[in-house]
Every structure is written in structure tokens, then in C-alpha cells.
A = this chain, B = another copy of it.
Amino acid sequence: MNEFEFIRRLRDQVRSRKTSSRLIEGIGDDATVISQVAGRDAVISTDLLVEGVDFYREATPPRLLGHKALAVSLSDIAAMGARPLWSLVSIGLPSGMWNQSFTDEFFGGYLALADQYRVTLAGGDVSETKDGIVIDSIVVGEVATGAAIARSGAHAGDQIYVTGTLGGAAAGLKLIEMGARLSQESGVRSKESGPRVLTSGLAHDDHKPSETAAIESLLLRQLCPSPRIGWGIVLGEERLASAMIDISDGLSSDLAHLCRESSVGALIQSDALPLDQNVVKLCGRRALDPLALALHGGEDFELLFTVRSEKVERLPKRVDGIETSRIGEITNESKVIRIAEKNHIWDLQPQGFQHFKGQV
């Protein structure tokens, strides 16, 4: 299969799907063309995933890699309060990997997630690499004019919220580094059957069925993240959040970004943090610290946002089955982030990033 055959196959796959009339040129031309409409802002995110840094090939089924490549960039769109609509993907693979088995799986996972949120793959680029997979994932979304939620809008007194639970993805990464793996079948996830997961590789380790289920869940938190699209859209459309960021580096780091951009500080309540219960379940038997992972672990792709006090009661209880937790309050001490734990208050230092990586 050469690149032109590959692109034609991909175009055929995409053309068989429903698409918006606003997409004028999709896959197969020099660039993507989308008609603009007055009264809306375009929101564009890009996320670079590099093998060996952002994922391990041997631990990541191609189908889940395709899912994750799109999910991380969808999460950035959600973090702006926007609705995702179109995507582009630039993908570089070593020569031996341009075969149908890898690319069909990769784009199978990618397009299944795209379909779920009615996102249309509308362009991109392909290249060979000398070694190693590299993916740049681009998503284009929209909000009503002026409704995008920046990191810079938080004020003292705003309440701090986070969706879902924290620490699971980082625990999943630790388990992968300890040798845990999804079974081969988990790569062949279909809409009907849901993920089928078997852990393996945690040798000499006699664990109960409930532990196996917890390990599976944590591996999927890491390998198959769920972007909080529904929450992003609700917060953007209802103008409920004053500032927002997604948790990719870790709560302590991402809260520090938000506070720096807003020139504010924050006080977090330790016992309000929504710890991942699978991490709690495993923490006695493994070197997993639920609180440390919730504070500093990255890649949960939950939304961290602030809400003016008078708007708090308008927040929905849950969106798409995902609840939020109020974890603290914005203060006027610029860039000072503290955490209250029982009767003590500590300074919280950002520790969530482990390598050179960040949104430009």
C-alpha cells in the first residue's frame, strides 16, 4: 500500500459517513475548507503524541492509540467550552508499519470516537519516519462569539470544580511501567461489545478478581481516556465557568497554569478531591498513593474549572453520567496554591509534569 492508496482508502471510509454541509473540501486536497458562520468563534487545538514519551507502543493496542490521539485533542476543545466538529491528523510511521493491520486498527479507534461525537475527519498529512510513531492531532470546534472559556477568567471567591475522578490515568501508567498489559482482544473494541480487557504481565502476583477489574479500569483510564465533551459544551453554552483547563499535566500543574493566567491563587480541600476508587482499592498492595496521584498525576483529561458563587446553583448535577466535585476556592494571593488537610494548610507545588511537554 503506498500513501495514495492509503489516503484513498481513508477518504472512502470517511465519505461513507454522514458529514456536515459546511465541509467544502475534506480529505484529498491541499487543505481542508470549512464555511464560516457569523456569531461563532472557531476553536483549534493541536496535540503532539510521540512514541516512547507520550505512549509505549508495546503497551498500546493500535485501536486505543487511534482513540487516544483524537481524545487528547477533543479534551482541549472541551476545555474551551466548545463543541468539536472537524479534525485533521498528521501521522508519521516507520516504513514497516504502513500496513493495513496497523492503520485499519488505528483509524478504527480514531473514527469510532469521532463518530461518537459527530466529528468529521477532514484532512491531515502522512509521512514515513526513521523510527517511532508520531501523531499530531488537530481538532476544530466552535463556540458562540465570546463564549470560549479561557484559563484567565478566574476571580477570588470563585469556586473550583473538577469533573469525574483523579489519579486513575497516572496509576494506569505506573501499572504499565510495572508490566501490566491489556490483552490483545482489548484492541478490537467494537461499539456493541465494549472493551474486553485482560491484564497480563504483572508476574508473580496473585491478585483477586476485584483487583483484576481495578487494574483493567486503570489501564483503560491511561490508554483509552474519555474527553469530557458534554461538560465542555454545557459550561460553554450556559456560560457557567469563569475559567477552565483540562487536566493533562496533573491537577497541581494545571491549577497553577490557571492561577498564573488569572493572576489569582487557590485553596484546595484535600478531602474534597475525587480520588479514583480503583487506585484506593489497590493502594494497600502496590506503591500507589491515591492522594499524590490525584494531585500530581497527569492525563486524567478531566475538566478543572471555576464558577462564580452566584452561578454555582445553576451547575448541573451530572452530564453524560459524569459528576463534578467542588474542590476549593480561588483566592486573591496571586500564584499561591494551598491545600487544606485536616487541621493543616500546606503550600502545593506543581509536580505534575515529568518531561518537556506543553500547549503552545
Q: At the interface, yes or no: A134 with Cβ under 8 Å from chain B?
A: yes
Q: At the interface, yes or no: A43 with Cβ under 8 Å from chain B?
A: yes
Q: At the interface, yes or no: A211 with Cβ under 8 Å from chain B?
A: no
**Residues of B with C-beta under 8 A to A25:** 80, 148, 150
Q: At the interface, yes or no: A283 with Cβ under 8 Å from chain B?
A: no
**Residues of B with C-beta under 8 A to A150:** 25, 29, 33
Q: At the interface, yes or no: A31 with Cβ under 8 Å from chain B?
A: yes
Is there an interface contact between A42 and B34, defined as CB atoms closer than 8 Å? Answer: yes
**Residues of B with C-beta under 8 A to A125:** 46-48, 136, 358-360
Which single member of B31, B76, B93, B130 contacts A76 (CB below 8 Å)?
A: B31
Q: How far is the CB of A33 from chain B (nearest CB, A)?
A: 4
CB proximity to B under 8 Å, residues A39-53:
39-53
Is there an interface contact between A90 and B33, defined as CB atoms closer than 8 Å? Answer: no
CB-nearest residue of chain B to A8: B260
Which single member of B24, B41, B129, B142 contacts A24 (CB below 8 Å)?
A: B41
Is there an interface contact between A29 and B132, defined as CB atoms closer than 8 Å? Answer: no
Knowing A2-B356, A48-B92, say if A82 contacts B31 (CB, 8 Å).
yes
Is there an interface contact between B32 and A43, defined as CB atoms closer than 8 Å? Answer: yes
Q: At the interface, yes or no: A30 with Cβ under 8 Å from chain B?
A: yes
Complex Cα distance, B257 from A140, in Å, reads 27
Is there an interface contact between B127 and A33, defined as CB atoms closer than 8 Å? Answer: no
Knowing A43-B32, A43-B33, say if A357 contacts B128 (CB, 8 Å).
yes
Q: How far is the CB of A358 from chain B (nearest CB, A)?
A: 4
Knowing A48-B90, A357-B3, say if A151 contacts B98 (CB, 8 Å).
no
CB proximity to B under 8 Å, residues A98-127:
98, 122-127
Complex Cα distance, B140 from A360, in Å, reads 16
Complex Cα distance, B122 from A45, in Å, reads 10
CB-nearest residue of chain B to A45: B31
Knowing A38-B38, A41-B36, say if A53 contacts B123 (CB, 8 Å).
no
**Residues of B with C-beta under 8 A to A132:** 129-132
Residue pairs across A and B with Cβ atoms less than 8 A apart, 17 shown, are A4-B358, A7-B360, A24-B41, A28-B151, A31-B141, A33-B44, A33-B150, A42-B42, A44-B140, A46-B90, A48-B90, A52-B129, A52-B130, A88-B360, A95-B356, A128-B355, A136-B136
